[in-house]
Amino acid sequence: MRSVGVEEELLLVDADSGEPRALATAVLAAASREADGREEVFEAELHREQVEFATRPQTGMGELAAEIDRCRAEASRHAERLGAAVAALATSPLPVSPSIGFGERHRWLEEHFGLTTQEQLTCGCHVHVSVESDEEGVGVLDRIRPWLSVLLAMSANSPFWQGKDSEYSSYRSRVWGRWPSAGPVELFGSAERYHEQVRDMVGTGALLDEGMVYFDARLSAAYPTVEFRVADVCLDSSTTVLLAALARALVETAARQWKEGMPPARHRVELLRLAAWRAARSGLEGELLHPLTMRPAPADAVVRALFDHVREALEDSGDLVSVQEALAVLLKTGSGARVQRELLARTGDLRAVVGACVRRTSG
């Protein structure tokens, strides 16, 4: 059974106003004191209005779900002591002037990328799935490319930007795409070519190091995993678990195809970029580009195509029924973006939207 780990970035907000607050340093200090020498799960991100946690690798989705909920609750507890809260929102609905972190890396990014760095207060969800080797990992990367936009649509949770409706379901992905190394990639064909491409990118001097290779999916530089980086942080932890189960099934399906010598789809990167744009714009509330044909299709049909594509792997991992049920709920209730817009329609107040999302984040 392939192991799965999740990283989630959470927004720190004022408990009363819902406005983002630069409290990451204090939250991390509180978490470190409580850890008392045990492995720490929280770390700083680019802006001081956000904090990230990472789960341990798990093989069971029930155990992964419990750990995500535990980490969210722990982050909420530390924030509450400071008069703040955490919200699983991929962008702030309310206007904000973000504060860059104090780290040397963060300052380098600010110096070299200017306003792009300043405006990157975005919260994503990364899913790590174990692979046996870099060769298998690259075989997987080449074969999951068309399906990544579907995961983006399912996770879409950032309709608002600086107090306005962006008219996108995932505006975070549009902001994130301003990095020159972000987005979909062409086929690699081998681990050697993958690593050569990464070396060439770092060698341009435009990137600080390998950690700035922001592909939608990549080989992790720290773990023997394929790292899915395309998703918004999800409003509900159940959606995060759904994404993790589908990511593992995608890796297993692609690895089997690679071992059997089945060639990957040869969609050009221009089409993959259009599929990602369409997913960011529509979420689950409109049409998406079908990964097999790259032609418009209803979102629910595209999601079901993903399910059919990985059905065998889901059966083998024991996740088939739970994923089927979770997909049915998600297609009925809609993405986090839809939930946020419905909250605004009911309350007429973005502060109330943030407050409701804080409550959903902590369960």
In a domain, 227, yes or no: yes
In a domain, 359, yes or no: no
pLDDT at 263: 97
Residue of 146, 177, 172 whose CA lies nearest to 231:
172
Residues 6+ apart with CB under 8 A from 161: 91, 171, 175
In a domain, 41, yes or no: yes
pLDDT at 363: 76
d(CA 122, CA 176) in angstroms, rounded, equals 8
Residues 6+ apart with CB under 8 A from 16: 83
Residue 216 is part of a domain; what is its CATH number? 3.30.590.20
Beta strands in the chain (DSSP E): 4-14, 42-44, 50-54, 84-87, 124-130, 160-161, 164-165, 217-219, 225-232, 287-289, 296-298
Mean pLDDT for back-to-back runs of 10 residues, the chain (363 residues): 97 97 95 79 95 97 97 96 97 97 94 96 98 98 98 98 98 98 97 98 97 97 96 98 98 98 97 98 97 98 98 98 98 97 98 98 85
In the chain, the number of structural domains is 1
pLDDT at 37: 65
In a domain, 362, yes or no: no
In a domain, 249, yes or no: yes
Residue 74: give the domain boundaries: 4-353
- The stretches of 51-189 forming alpha helices (DSSP H) are 61-80, 104-113, 115-118, 134-144, 148-155, 171-176
In a domain, 363, yes or no: no
**Residue pair 283/170 in contact by the 8 Å Cβ criterion:** yes
d(CA 173, CA 52) in angstroms, rounded, equals 18
pLDDT tens-place string over residues 226-236 = 999 999 999 99
pLDDT at 40: 77
pLDDT at 307: 98
In a domain, 313, yes or no: yes
In a domain, 358, yes or no: no
